[in-house]
Amino acid sequence: MFDDIRPYRDDEVVAVIKKLINQQGLQASIASLKMPRLYQALPQLACKIVKWSLKFRVKKFHNIEQIQIEVAKYLHHLIKNSTAGFNYSGIENFDTTKPALFISNHRDIVLDVALVNLALHKSGINTVEAAVGDNLLHQPWVADLMRINKSFIVKRNEENKRAMLNASKQLSAYIHDTVANRKQNIWIAQREGRAKDGVDKTNSALISMLLLNKDKQMPMADYLAELNIVPVSISYEFDPCDIDKAIELAEKEATGSYQKHEDEDLKSITQGLVGQKGQVHLQFCQPIQGDFANSKAIAAAIDKEIISNYKLYDSNLVAYAKLNHQDTDSTVLEKLNKRMENLTTEQQHWLLTMYANPVSAKQQLPL
């Protein structure tokens, strides 16, 4: 029932790794990142070196946990080199003995869920199965790479409405079964695509999808108790992709659309991982419990938790002050100006706006 979307199991790891090693697309991607000059001059040689290296390095992987431990090592190294510090809090807000459906705001394609996993791993809690949209899986090997690291597929490119409804029902059943029956944590973003403008808002359609599997006779409060939704608020002092996001937002405003370049998602993933982020904070919020009228009310409750627990940095406060013609900290403003020096006036406005919007959101929270 779920074989086409579920993560791979332990008994599938060795076969999938063997297949991945032979994927030319994967070899080329690694070669272009790790040895760009050699890859440009002698692509076949560079790919052969990558293939040999992969064969040697992945011999030790025979199950998912071994892969996750290796990923955790890489994450520790990544955080040390690309942040001024990562911290998390709020573990005490939810029952760690019960599986949870973590729903977070979405700023970075890969790092958001990676940080959730790292915080859980450090706290001795089982890591999540993570939702990944098939729009990011242009090549089959990319899907294999994600599914071997506890990711499941969200189908977004079905050919008609009936197929999309069936895909949504399958996804709803999978999430409920995973949390309620298999007792496995899950992570999903609060909306499709990153909040490039800094507005963290849960898509009520996502909540409607989660409720598709609920029996009509079952009280909403009981079903929510089974899903155990725990909102997560992730705050980055600086966004490594802020310039690209500002350029995209300005173009959308000017022309009404934006056409992605080839391999733009891969570039965003890489930049988001290795780019400098300053301080990063992750807050586990209060679980969403009780009776709600509809999916919009549930989405609003998640939004309130995420926004109220969002950590504002000086980058946010200074951007807000600048847009509102208020006096502001000149040191932080210099950092923002440095990031904007090659942008147009419209692009600069959007870059400041994406940092300022969390401040506005907190001010608009209902008392």
Q: What is the pLDDT of residue 319?
A: 96
Q: What percent of the chain has pLDDT over 90?
A: 78
Half-sphere exposure of 10 (CA within 13 A, CB side): 4
3-state helix, strand, coil in the chain (%, to 5): 55, 10, 35
Residues 28 and 67 in one domain: no
Q: Which residue range is the domain that position 202 belongs to?
A: 63-239+259-310
Residues 126 and 193 in one domain: yes
Q: For residue 202, is it within any domain?
A: yes
Q: For residue 234, is it within any domain?
A: yes
**CA dihedral sign of residues 96, 100, 106, 111:** positive
Q: Please report which confidence band the pLDDT of residue 18 belongs to, taking 50, 70 and 90 as the band edges.
A: very high
* Whether residue 367 has pLDDT greater than 70: no
- Buried residues in 316-336 as b, exposed as e (16+ CB within 10 A): bbbbbbbbeeeebeeebbebb
Edge-first strand listing for the sheet containing 101-104 = 85-89, 279-284, 229-236, 101-104, 186-189, 129-133, 151-154
Mean pLDDT over 275-295 rounds to 96
Q: Please report which confidence band the pLDDT of residue 181 belongs to, taking 50, 70 and 90 as the band edges.
A: very high
- What is the number of domains present in the chain? 2
* Whether residue 221 has pLDDT greater than 80: yes
Report which listed range, 64-78, 148-162, 204-218, is most confident: 204-218
Q: Give the CATH number, domain containing residue 144.
A: 3.40.1130
Structural tokens at position 223:
């079903």
Q: Please report which confidence band the pLDDT of residue 360 belongs to, taking 50, 70 and 90 as the band edges.
A: very high
Q: What percent of the chain has pLDDT over 70?
A: 100
What are the backbone angles phi and psi of residue 84, rounded to the nearest 5°?
-95, 10
Q: For residue 249, is it within any domain?
A: no
Residues 75 and 187 in one domain: yes
CA dihedral of residues 202, 207, 209, 213 (deg, nearest 10): 160
Structural tokens at position 35:
């040895």
* Whether residue 62 has pLDDT greater than 80: yes
Residues 55 and 70 in one domain: no
CA 150 remoteness from chain centre: 14
Q: Which of 51, 55, 58, 2 is nearest to 27 (CA)?
A: 51
Q: What is the pLDDT of residue 336?
A: 94
Last residue of a domain, one of 13, 46, 62: 62
For 227, the enclosing helix (H) or strand (E) is helix 220-227
Last residue of a domain, one of 35, 62, 89: 62
* Whether residue 329 has pLDDT greater than 90: no
Going by C-beta distance under 8 Å and a sequence separation of 6 or more, which residues neighbour residue 16?
A: 8, 144, 147, 148
Please state, in angstroms and rounded to a whole number, the distance separating the CA atoms of residues 306 and 190.
10
Residues 170 and 189 in one domain: yes
Residues 112 and 173 in one domain: yes
Q: For residue 353, is it within any domain?
A: no
Residues 131 and 220 in one domain: yes
Q: What is the pLDDT of residue 25?
A: 87
Please state, in angstroms and rounded to a whole number, the distance separating the CA atoms of residues 344 and 83.
28
Residues 176 and 147 in one domain: yes
Q: What is the pLDDT of residue 152?
A: 95
Which pLDDT tens digit goes with each residue over 232-245? 999 999 999 999 99
Structural tokens at position 134:
């098939």
Q: What is the pLDDT of residue 137?
A: 79
Mean pLDDT, the chain, as a whole number?
Answer: 93
Query: Helix or strand or coil: residue 190?
Result: coil
Task: Give the least confident one: 26-35, 193-202, 290-299.
Answer: 26-35
Query: Helix or strand or coil: residue 123?
Result: coil
Last residue of a domain, one of 47, 62, 77: 62
Q: Please report which confidence band the pLDDT of residue 357 belongs to, taking 50, 70 and 90 as the band edges.
A: very high
Q: For residue 361, is it within any domain?
A: no
Report whether 136 contacts 109 (CB < 8 A): yes
* Whether residue 318 has pLDDT greater than 70: yes
Residues 105 and 189 in one domain: yes
Report whether 191 contacts 185 (CB < 8 A): no
Residue 17's alpha-carbon distances to 2, 3, 11, 26, in angstroms, are: 21, 18, 11, 12
Please state, in angstroms and rounded to a whole number, the distance separating the CA atoms of residues 155 and 131.
10
Residues 178 and 305 in one domain: yes
Residues 172 and 302 in one domain: yes
